[in-house]
Structure 1
Amino acid sequence: MLKVTFLGTGGSLPTTNRNPSAIMLNREGELIMFDCGEGAQQQMMRAKTGMMNLSSIFITHFHADHILGIPGLVQTMSFQGRTEPLTIYGPEWVEEFVKILSAIGYYKLKFEIKAVKLKSGTSVKRDGYSVIALKTDHNIPSIGFALVEDERPGRFDRDKAIALGVPVGPLFSKLHHGGSVEVDGNIISAEDVVGEPRPGRTVVYSGDTRPCLDVLEASVGADLLIHDSTLADDMLDWAKEAMHSTAGEAAALAKKAGVKKLVLTHISSRYSDDATLLLNDAKAIFEDVVIAEDLLVIEVPFCDV
């Protein structure tokens, strides 16, 4: 399972229907977050994502709309009895932020919060996947993230294994995971019955940025690209000044990278009533695109060729 829940999809200011930036990823039961804007914990409750299995929060930058949900969230987890450490990853200033966070409120947290500073190209290795920091182009130090799963074993040819005399049972698993087995004096290797390794899934989150090379390169062939789309194309000059992207620019990057699906987020409050203009700008360039809405859930499937 790889499920993405959009807890907050708005720009700098919350609106009646959009919270600030916050995205929850559930990968095989492990929860990680990309940014954690104001109100994130209530959105978790509404979406029923859970929070106690949250292992890490990856922060793209330290503008308030991307971090103000963290103080309330950590206090709630502490009240609920959390004792496992929580790691907050981010660019420059993450250590200072965690020191301030740990001092907020009279109530002392029952668990440790660790700060890890990332720079572009740094890879955080986890069980079955990595999160890679990407250089982005915003008006303060910022990074984006690519969650990249490890390769999976190729397809197991059950019929061929049986034809070679391998009995149905645990030897199948051993072969599928790269081992060799002996049957009636014959050695059968994984290469005899297992196809080429298959790619895992890739989810890229740009954070706030102008279109940039690192996000483009990380997005090549990605299953899901979540990209800054603060403004419509008719406000390109403002997007450049504020160091954000337009919907059309996000779509052009998605098309160039050959992503499978594009989600536009960080939607300016000027489109709070109707974001159709953004969608139209993007669809003129790239077809498989949606505007993120708060509490939107996207399941990212395996795409085997």
Structure 2
Amino acid sequence: MKVTFLGTSGAVPTTVRNPSGLLVEREGDRLLFDCGEGTQRQMMRYGTGFDIEHIFLTHMHGDHIFGLPGLTQTWDFQDREKPLAIHAPTGTRSRVEQLLSATGQSPSYPIRVTQVSAGDVVLDCEEYEVRAIQNNHRTNAVGYALVEDDRKGEFDREKAEKELGIPPGPKYSKLHDGTAIEHDGRTIQPEEVVGSPRTGRRLVYTGDTRPTDGIVDASTDADLLVHDGTFGKEHRERALNTAHSTAREAAQVADDAGVKRLALTHISTRYTGRVAELESEAAERFDGTLFVADDGMQVTVPYPDSDREFAIERLD
């Protein structure tokens, strides 16, 4: 799973930070979370690809949606035919539709706008699902959790072949799929050669929010939590008044949830050149892997049982 940060600024862009956008690539599926102004150019710049069927909006503030008209129009110019689904919080469908038709023209390909509430399974795929989660902002808003299904346990090929005398072939597949087989006059149960199910990955993207119990619950043991970290502790009152989080508060959520890694995003322009302060404050509450996300940063999230390492790459 690769996570590319397309936009990591707060409400106002800077010369190095675009408004909010996050692209997740999982086994060939590309999912876009939020679409701030200039998102399509960021996608080109960082080579993420444009083959997207689902866009997940956390809320309708401009820095999270103003990239939609341009991106959908570009797809129209490219003669897109594939349907697009845009998921947005309950009560916002008409506003999304008005934004898409702001130029007076509608794309020639089908666009479906769905409304979601915390607790909804927004996207249900064969190996994973995307759920809307509770957050707390100044408007109708949700976060999202991408949760993979458990995977099959590892197949002990050596035991099957050498101890049980089962030659490689269709019987291996049946056992791995959970079906008992007959071999040399005895019944072989799957658990004799197949280990326990292996945990899938969990990615949580909060959008703009105060810390909430719902985020803690949704982020339990998450492999990566991408949390609003707009302010430092010096602006805690402003965080309260604007329904954002400080870096320290985001770190407390990460600690309470037992996440493996925390990425702070939606960084206020006040901290241009000072993001080390946010990391330092967060480190006081969370001792796992921690970083302030930058535009063009791409992280690779391995399976929990994988020998591969969590990796951070800068694409520019």
The TM-score range, normalised by the shorter chain, is over 0.9
For 2:169, give the aligned amino acid. G
For 1:64 and 1:108, how far apart are their aligned partners in 2? 20
2:112 matched residue in structure 1: 114
**What is the alpha-carbon distance in structure 1 between the residues aligned to residue 170 and residue 38 of structure 2?**
48
Rounded Cα–Cα distance in structure 2 between residues aligned with 1:144 and 1:84: 26
| Structure 1 gap ranges (5+) | none
Secondary structure in 2 matching 1:222: coil
Residue 108 and residue 91 in structure 1: after superposition, are their counterparts in 2 closer, same or farther (change >3 A)? closer
What is the DSSP-based 3-state SS (H/G/I as helix, E as strand, rest coil) of the residue aligned with 2:18?
A: coil
After superposition, the C-alpha distances for 1:225-246 in whole angstroms (9 at most, x for unaligned) are 0000000011111100110000
Distance 1:127 1:85 in 2: 19
CA drift at 1:108:
4.2
Instruction: Measure, in 2, the Cα distance between the counterparts of 1:147 and 1:293.
Output: 21
SS at match of 1:245: coil
In structure 1, the residue matched to 2:222 is: 222
Aligned pairs for 1:1-305 (under 5 A) are: 2-51=1-50, 53-105=51-103, 108-124=106-122, 125-162=124-161, 163-287=163-287, 288-304=289-305
2:256 and 2:100 map into 1 onto residues whose CA distance is 43
- More deviation, 14-23/132-141: 132-141
Percent of residue pairs identical: 47
Offset of residue 133 of structure 1: 0.8
Tell me, yes or no, if the aligned pair for 1:98 and 1:113 is still in contact at 8 Å: no
Q: TM-score, normalised by structure 1?
A: 0.96
**More displaced stretch, 6-15 vs 97-106:** 97-106
Work out the CA distance in 2 between the residues paired with 1:197 and 1:285.
32
In structure 1, give the amino acid aligned to 2:13: P
Instruction: Give unmatched runs, 5+ long, in structure 2.
Output: 307-316
Q: Distance in 1 between matches of 2:271 and 2:177?
A: 50
What per-residue deviation string (whole Å, max 9, x for no partner) do you get for residues 251-285 of structure 1?
Answer: 11101111000000000011122211111101122
Per-residue Cα deviation, 1:19-73 (whole angstroms, up to 9, x for no partner):
000000001111111111111101001110101x211011110000000111111
C-alpha contact (below 8 Å) 1:94/1:115 kept by paired residues: no
How far off is 1:104 after superposition?
Answer: 3.0
Task: State the aligned residue count.
Answer: 303
* Structure 1 contact 26–32 (Cα < 8 Å) conserved: yes
Aligned partners of 1:181 and 1:106: how far apart in 2? 63
Q: What's the CA shift for 1:304?
A: 2.2
- State the distance in 2 between where 1:217 and 1:241 align: 24
Query: Retained in 1: the 8 A contact 2:68–2:100?
Result: no
1 CA distance for matches of 2:37 and 2:169?
A: 51
Distance 1:134 1:198 in 2: 24
Partner of 2:310: none
**Amino acid across the alignment from 1:13:** V
Cα deviations across residues 182-227 of structure 1 (Å, max 9, x unaligned)? 3233332322211111110000011100000110011110000000
Give the aligned residue type for 2:130.
V
CA gap 1:12/1:44 in 2 versus in 1, 3 angstroms? same
CA contact (8 A) 1:94 1:116 kept: no
C-alpha displacement at 1:106, in angstroms? Answer: 5.1
Task: Map Cα deviations across residues 79-133 of structure 1 (whole Å, 9 max, x no partner).
Answer: 1121111111110233213321442335542211101111110012122111111
Q: Structure 1 residues 140 and 98 mapped into 2: Cα distance closer, same or farther (>3 Å)?
A: closer
In structure 1, what residue type is equivalent to 2:81? T
Once residues 165 and 77 of structure 2 are traced to their aligned partners in structure 1, the CA distance between those partners, rounded to angstroms, is: 58
- Between the aligned partners of 1:209 and 1:98, the Cα distance in structure 2 is 21
**Contact 1:88–1:94 under 8 Å retained in 2:** no
* Structure-2-length-normalised TM-score: 0.92
Q: CA RMSD in A?
A: 1.4
Give the Cα separation in 2 of the matches to 1:231 and 1:199: 34
Q: Distance in 1 between matches of 2:298 and 2:106?
A: 34
Distance 1:157 1:219 in 2: 32
| Cα distance in structure 2, aligned partners of 1:106 and 1:239 | 38
